[in-house]
Amino acid sequence: MAHEMPAVRRAGGIQVRKLAIVAVIACSIVLFFVMDLGRFLSLETLKANRDHLLAFTEANYTASVVLFVLLYIAVAGLSLPGATILTLAGGFVFGAVPATLYVNIGATTGATLAFLAARYVLRDTVEQKFGRWLEPLQQGFAKNALSYLLTLRLIPLFPFFVVNLVSGLTRVSVGTYVAATALGIIPGSFVYAYAGRQLGVINSLKEIGSPQVLGAFVLLGAFALAPILYKKLSAKSA
């Protein structure tokens, strides 16, 4: 009986920590929507404040990078809307290549936190809400986890946040998940960051159809088709 007490205390302590994490996540998400913080992650806000963003970034580059990465981690980790606008904003203020790096750090870290939360804290909730996506993901991971997850990142068959959460319910290792996420989001991040650099001179939504921006999205489509072409070529050579 005496030996059972420490185990009970440990189990109780783990449960309390889980509840605390759930409370923090829930409060953060509720706060985001109640305070309508999403209004700051819109194209209109980006265009209206572009001069201020550029001035602040030039005067406080390191702080801007840290704030940007932390904000991206929060958006990706909490599965909040606004990642696309953040990527566009990053491309606008930092440039396409640096923004791609910063987005990758923030998105990969946030996605990994969501993955770990789903695996160790929110398993029942995630399974109840997104369980219908679990079986196809399980089948894909069973064949080749790295290749399948990399394909999911390159070709968004499922929403980004759904892959983050549902992957936590599978047996895919953390290392494989992080590697596939970090590699798979590079093409899309670069294209949106490049588009954001062009959006800096756009004064109306109609101008989004400029040749530069259209070219960026054509490039994204080419990257997305790469895994399919690779599979077909591999099948023929075999």
Residue 49, pLDDT score: 85
Query: In whole angstroms, what is the distance from residue 116 CA to residue 110 CA?
Result: 10
Q: What are the tokens at 99?
A: 């923004």
What's this model's pTM, rounded to 2 decimal places? 0.77
Query: In whole angstroms, what is the distance from residue 212 CA to residue 61 CA?
Result: 26
Task: Answer for the pair 47, 77: CB distance below 8 angstroms, yes or no.
Answer: no
Task: Answer for the pair 47, 85: CB distance below 8 angstroms, yes or no.
Answer: no
Residue 171, pLDDT score: 81
Query: In whole angstroms, what is the distance from residue 184 CA to residue 155 CA?
Result: 9
Indicate left, alpha or beta for 95 from its phi (over 0: left) and psi (-120 to 50: alpha): left
Measuring CA to CA, which residue among 213, 214, 221, 199 is closest to residue 54? Answer: 199
Chain CA centroid to CA 57, Å: 23
Spans in the chain with pLDDT lower than 50: 8, 205, 208-209
Measuring CA to CA, which residue among 115, 124, 225 is closest to residue 174? Answer: 115
Residue 84, pLDDT score: 85
Query: What is the DSSP annotation of 130-146?
Result: HGGGHHHHHHHHHHHHH
Residues 6+ apart with CB under 8 A from 155: 224, 227, 228
Residue 35, pLDDT score: 77
Measuring CA to CA, which residue among 50, 53, 48 is closest to residue 64? Answer: 53
